[in-house]
Amino acid sequence: MSTIPKRNSICAVIPFYNEKESLAGVISCTLPHVDHLILVDDGSTDGTQNIIPLNEKIILIAHPQNLGKGAALKSGLIESIKRGFDISITLDADMQHPPDDIPKFISELKKYDVVVGNRLSSLGNMPLQRIASNKLTSLLLSLKTKIKLPDTQCGFRGYRNNVLENILPNFSGYEAESEMLINASRSNCRIGFVTIPTIYANEKSKMKPVKTIIGFLRVLFI
């Protein structure tokens, strides 16, 4: 297995929508671990863009309106491919994904094509309804892909860019991350997992349960 190139090869992709309170902290904690940072503003209306620091390592993409997390992820990952990076790390902008764990993903990408954060071995303060939905969706996707997938809903992930073009999502909502795992399994990608902490505070989820469930069911039957 080839080693991971170290110079100008690793980028982080962070989609955000109205994350004015947390984005600056995520940026400052992420930059030391990557060569570049691709931020995707998915139509924010709270002035989040105004807190982004001027930095030659930061690339900003702005959607004119809110298109959904999947659409924002796709925009960022396509930009990463275009710019010739070797690795893309995706994480959320709400501080639920600790950037200091990025080296774990980079290390595991020496063995795998896709690496997903696994929060379900240490549930911490994850809400009960999220535990139940996570376990159910992970079971269903494991059955569909015939691969043991312990946590399919975590957005903290690492990708080798040489497989990304074949697994990019077509769905625009939260279900896109499930779709990418299905696409990865169909492309015979090696999928690994790393344990990360479960972090929940008082932030209000932007996920709309009914819409998300319908989206997941549509993905499950593709």
Average pLDDT per consecutive 10 residues, the chain (222 residues; last block may be shorter): 59 97 96 97 96 95 97 98 97 94 97 93 67 86 95 95 97 95 97 88 61 82 82
Residue 50 lies in a domain: yes
| pLDDT value of residue 8 | 62
**Residues spanned by the domain of 102:** 10-220
Residue 1 lies in a domain: no
* Token reading at 216: 């997941």
Give the CA count within 13 Å in the CB-facing half-sphere of 163. 22
Which residues on adjacent β-strands are paired with residue 21? none
| pLDDT value of residue 216 | 82
- The span from the CA of 147 to the CA of 116, in Å, is 13
| pLDDT value of residue 204 | 59
CATH number at residue 134: 3.90.550.10
Q: 3-class SS at 15? A: strand
| pLDDT value of residue 126 | 67
* CA torsion angle 78 165 207 119 (round to 10): -110
Residue 24 lies in a domain: yes
Q: Can you give the pTM of this predicted structure?
A: 0.89
What b/e readout covers 2-29, taking b as 16+ CB neighbours within 10 angstroms?
Answer: eeeeeeebbbbbbbbbbbeebbeebbeb
Report how many domains make up the chain.
Answer: 1
